[in-house]
Amino acid sequence: MSNVIIIGSGIGGLLAGNLLAREGHQVTIFESHKMPGGYTGGFWRKGFYFESGTLSFETSSMVFAAMEDLGLLDQISFTRQHTRWVNKEIDGSMQSYEEFKKMIFSAYPEAIFQLEKYFAEVDKMYYAILPFIKNEKEAFFPKVLSYITAGFKMAGLYRKYSDLTLGEFTERFFDKDSKICRFFKSIGYPNMAAFLLGGAMASIFDDYWTVAKGMQSWADLLSDNFKKLGGELRLNSYVDKILTKNCRAIGVLCNKLVYSADYLIAAGDYKKTFLQLLDDRSAVPAEFLAKVEKAVVSEGIVTAYLGLSLSNAELEKYLKLPHVFYLEDEPGAELLEAEDREYFKRAGINLYAPSLHHPGLAPEGKSSLMIQTIAPTRWMKNWGNGDHELYRRLKAEVLEVLIDKAGELIPKLRDYIEFADLATPLTYEKYTHNTAGATSAWSWNPQKKFYKNFIKSQVETPIKNLYTGSCWSMQIGGVPGAISAAYACAKRIK
């Protein structure tokens, strides 16, 4: 059996740790934070629970299979995450893609011709991916046949739209300055690959899930099971260096102590792994390092965390559902305009109330609320260019803006606030070490890919016995990417 060190205790690191410890390997997970989970975790403030960042996941069949594989599926409370869509023209909580389409056609009758052309293409994407999303039990041969048919359709759509961004695709059907164009461009990641739109729709309407008791309960379950299997979880243990010899990983340096290993899994930020942690950068080709340095990461977010004196019952009257896309944006909210101080006043938001899924996530008679929006990368000279006073002022400004926006759905919101704080991309980078606070590893823009293949796990690295075991092993990352990486790493370690 081997001695394995895992750097990072996000879902990928925790799952890999469980899989390897179960096989009898000696496994140690080093986590820089005081809690496991990373982006897929949560925290408590003054009795209110909030998610660290991740609100939902898709590809549930993969998630459920992994938890069942560990014998933990019956110990976790996964629940469907349904979404309410709101702007001045629409307000609905559709349970299906077809209901969503009907709502859009009804809301924008002046654009029926463009909508018909738009959905004629999106329908192809949605119905091609649907057999892979739905985990319905059916006879073997019809199921295989549906997969093969869908696979051919997806291949054709990939060839057609593989290099097109969501923005470019949307502007083929709608005037780029129109509100409906901005609405459709806001679905999914900004300027993600257009061929992913069908998957985004299928995830939202057919396979969107969360953890009723909070993402942290998932991380805690995996970490507890890991320790029961004999694994060691070292919290508050930042790895200073990955140690190599003859282009082979041999251990880590942490708090001035050397820990040897036969294998290493870097279950965290890919850029920092090779640009900061590697003890000898000459061990990898210079062109590889240049590629890593230039690679674009996914966008960061800002999140307002509010503890409210409002009861869950009252909050539910306003929100209807725990998750709300409030897409009432204004022209000019451009992510590329990093020096636009007014950006957040124009951007759309989404709201999420953890305590509406489980009342125990807030004090009795009270509720928790999160307000999120995408942030321009390194906004306002990266939030003040190191000026701590300016950083505090910018945070305060953005917090006020997000509260005002959420107040359009929750009257007198300010009167109920008992606790308020704001996380910026710098906050997320501090606690997760993700470059620029990236929320889902690499960029989803097809013109800015790090990996050639968008959806395949790439756990091998130029350093022998060093694998990547997090969402960073896949171009579009996410929880499915982390799970896929964990299994791929465990398969390679003997």
Q: Please give the full DSSP string across 146-200, using - where no structure is assigned.
A: HHHHHHHHHHHHHHHHTT-BHHHHHTTTS-TTSHHHHHHHTSSSTT-BGGGHHHH
What whole-number distance in Å separates Cα of residue 73 and Cα of residue 70? 8
pLDDT of residue 138 exceeding 80: no
pLDDT of residue 135 exceeding 60: no
Least confident range from 52-56, 131-135, 431-435: namely 131-135
Region 261-272: mean pLDDT is 98
The H or E element spanning position 240 is: strand 239-245
CATH code given to domain 3-40+61-69+214-295+445-492: 3.50.50.60
Quickly tell me which residue has 């022998």 as its tokens: 464
pLDDT of residue 143 exceeding 60: no
Quickly tell me which residue has 């059907």 as its tokens: 173
pLDDT tier at 49, thresholds 50, 70, 90: very high
Among residues 366, 360, 364, 328, the alpha carbon closest in space to that of 345 is found at: 328
If one compares 251 and 149, the residue with the highest pLDDT of the two is 251
What is the pLDDT, as a whole number, of residue 150?
53
| Whole-number CA gyration radius for the chain | 22
What is the pLDDT, as a whole number, of residue 70?
98
What whole-number distance in Å separates Cα of residue 124 and Cα of residue 212? 33
What whole-number distance in Å separates Cα of residue 418 and Cα of residue 345? 23
Region 475-481: mean pLDDT is 93
pLDDT of residue 352 exceeding 90: yes
What whole-number distance in Å separates Cα of residue 459 and Cα of residue 473? 6
What whole-number distance in Å separates Cα of residue 273 and Cα of residue 411? 46
pLDDT of residue 140 exceeding 50: no
pLDDT of residue 487 exceeding 80: yes
CB 54 within 8 A of CB 479: yes
pLDDT of residue 152 exceeding 60: no
What whole-number distance in Å separates Cα of residue 95 and Cα of residue 56? 16
Give me the percent of the chain exceeding a pLDDT of 90: 87
Q: If you average pLDDT over every residue of the chain, what do you get?
A: 93
Give me the percent of the chain exceeding a pLDDT of 70: 96
Sign of dihedral through CA atoms 297, 192, 428, 72? negative
Torsion from C-alpha of 117, 122, 127, 131, nearest 10 degrees:
170
Query: 140-161 and 112-133 are packed helices; what angle lies between their axes, rounded to 10 degrees?
Result: 130
pLDDT of residue 25 exceeding 70: yes
What is the reported pTM? 0.94
pLDDT of residue 334 exceeding 90: no
Region 56-75: mean pLDDT is 96
What is the pLDDT, as a whole number, of residue 145?
43
What is the pLDDT, as a whole number, of residue 2?
97
Region 227-251: mean pLDDT is 98
Question: Own/partner pairs for 424-430, CB < 8 Å, 24+ apart?
Answer: 424/300, 424/302, 424/375, 424/383, 424/395, 424/398, 425/300, 425/301, 425/302, 425/375, 425/377, 425/378, 425/379, 425/383, 426/382, 426/383, 426/391, 428/39, 428/53, 428/300, 428/301, 429/300
* 3 state SS of 470: coil
What whole-number distance in Å separates Cα of residue 403 and Cα of residue 418? 13
pLDDT 10s digits, 190-232: 889 999 999 999 999 999 999 999 999 999 999 999 999 999 9
Sign of dihedral through CA atoms 218, 222, 224, 225? positive
